[in-house]
Chains A and B, each alone.
Chain A
Amino acid sequence: MIYLRLFWEFFKTGLFAVGGGMATIPFLSEMAERTGWFTQGMLADMIAVGESTPGPIGVNTATYVGFTVAGVPGGIVATLGLVLPSFLIILLVAAFLKAFRTNKYVERVFYGIRPASVGMIGAACVAVMRLCLVDTAAFAESRALADLFHWKGMALFALIWVLTNLVKGTKKLHPVIFIAASAAVGIVFRFAGA
């Protein structure tokens, strides 16, 4: 029963992803690996759409994955699965708000989880980089270092990094602007070779 499996997969994601929408990415990446429902490349595209449309990124990406796997009902089931654990947890936390904020065990647990969550998102970042910045297949064939990198991709990556971190005027621009500009660059310079 695909809907039950979808719901369960996203329930787990919602239960263990701490730190907002980006924290769901490692779970989705592992889901792709294990279930074969979608590829890492498709996941990167879905994240991009999730970032460039209104609404929380985590919810957008869940809806998209669910839709890809099992149509409109799939999108609904995946989203509800993602939301249910935090819904229940917040109801519980709200009842003990003061105790929760000052509880030393809660503080200790999150002291450990926070850096782990960043490590997992970092690993997901490495996975997307492997996908669009290096070409290990071509490198294995020719053994020429020049073939290891997607040079166009590297150049665009460096440019976006500089614009989002160093240049004062563009640092605060909304991500959707960079996504739209990258789409244009991809089309003009034929990033997919198509």
Chain B
Amino acid sequence: MKLKLLGNLFVAFAKVGVLTFGGGYAMLPMLQREIVDAHGWATEEELADYYAIGQCTPGVIAVNTATFIGQKLGGPLCAAAATLGVVFPSLVIITVIAAVLQNFAQLAVVRNAFAGIRVCVCALILNAVVKLWKKAVVDLPTLLIFLAVLALAVFTKLSPVVFVVAAALAGVALKAREAKR
């Protein structure tokens, strides 16, 4: 019985993995279809909750959501099955693509294509930054944190870990002062 659930979870999340293009927001409708409608493993509201927590905890959102649902259904083993399910298609697909591209990387066509694609990636990352900015920068302190980290990350070789830890401390300190007033 338990074994069957593990298998079902793995397959359901592997399906979500295969059918999600681009991650993030693209995944929510797929999760709704597979997890809420097809299996009834969670309600619409629970899914939204897990998704929100997945966004504000470290790691890949899709993976976090999968872990959450697996854990809720049957503990850590089910969480592991769901998590491995969601990453399995990526592992296979990317490995095949990487192996193929390796052999053609020096061709003029491939080099020109990727030079064009890099420009597109620039624009896509910029769009992601703008979208995230609207949610994260909500007042003057958050604006200052954003500007400080941006400048330091561009002009120094400090590890990103330093920024995350410092920003977390800054968040606690700033909000604590606000609460005292």
Contacts and interface: CB of A to CB of B under 8 A. Distances in A.
Interface of A: 12, 14-22, 24-27, 30, 33, 41, 44-45, 47-60, 63-64, 67-68, 72, 75-76, 79, 82-83, 85-87, 89-91, 93-94, 97, 100-101, 104-105, 107-129, 131-133, 153, 156-157, 160-161, 164-165, 174-176, 178-179, 181-187, 189-192, 194
28 contacts: A14-B58, A17-B58, A20-B60, A26-B160, A41-B118, A48-B120, A55-B87, A56-B17, A56-B20, A56-B27, A63-B90, A67-B99, A87-B83, A90-B68, A90-B71, A94-B68, A115-B149, A116-B146, A117-B136, A117-B164, A122-B150, A128-B118, A179-B120, A181-B120, A186-B115, A189-B112, A189-B116, A192-B111
A7 to B, nearest CB: 15
User: Chain B at the A interface: mostly helix, strand, loop or mixed?
Assistant: helix
B143 interface: yes
A191 B116 contact: yes
B91 interface: yes
Interface string B107-118: 011011111111
A12 to B, nearest CB: 6
Contact of B22 (A109, A123, A125, A175): A175
A73 B101 CA distance: 18
Contacts of A30: 157, 159-160
B160 A94 contact: no
B51 to A, nearest CB: 11
Given A21-B24, A175-B124, A26 B114 contact: no
B143 A115 contact: yes
Contact of A33 (B90, B145, B157): B157
Interface residues of B, number: 96
Given A55-B23, A83-B63, A112-B167, A60 B94 contact: yes
Query: Which of B121, B150, B153: most chain A CB closer than 10 A?
Result: B121
Query: Which of B61, B101, B108: most chain A CB closer than 10 A?
Result: B61
B129 interface: yes
Nearest to A194: B108
Contacts of A187: 109, 112-113, 116
A58 B60 contact: yes
Contacts of A51: 22, 121, 124
A82 B60 contact: yes
A115 B58 contact: no
Contacts of B170: 112
B131 to A, nearest CB: 9
User: Chain A at the B interface: mostly helix, strand, loop or mixed?
Assistant: helix
Query: Which of A30, A57, A64, A85: most chain B CB closer than 10 A?
Result: A57
A59 B90 contact: yes
B125 A124 contact: yes
B62 interface: yes
Contact of A111 (B89, B122, B124, B142): B142
Contact of A113 (B24, B167, B174): B167
Given A56-B63, A125-B129, A182-B120, 12 more contacts: A27-B160, A59-B87, A67-B94, A82-B59, A87-B83, A91-B67, A93-B53, A104-B175, A108-B175, A113-B171, A116-B166, A178-B123
A47 B121 contact: yes
Contacts of A41: 118
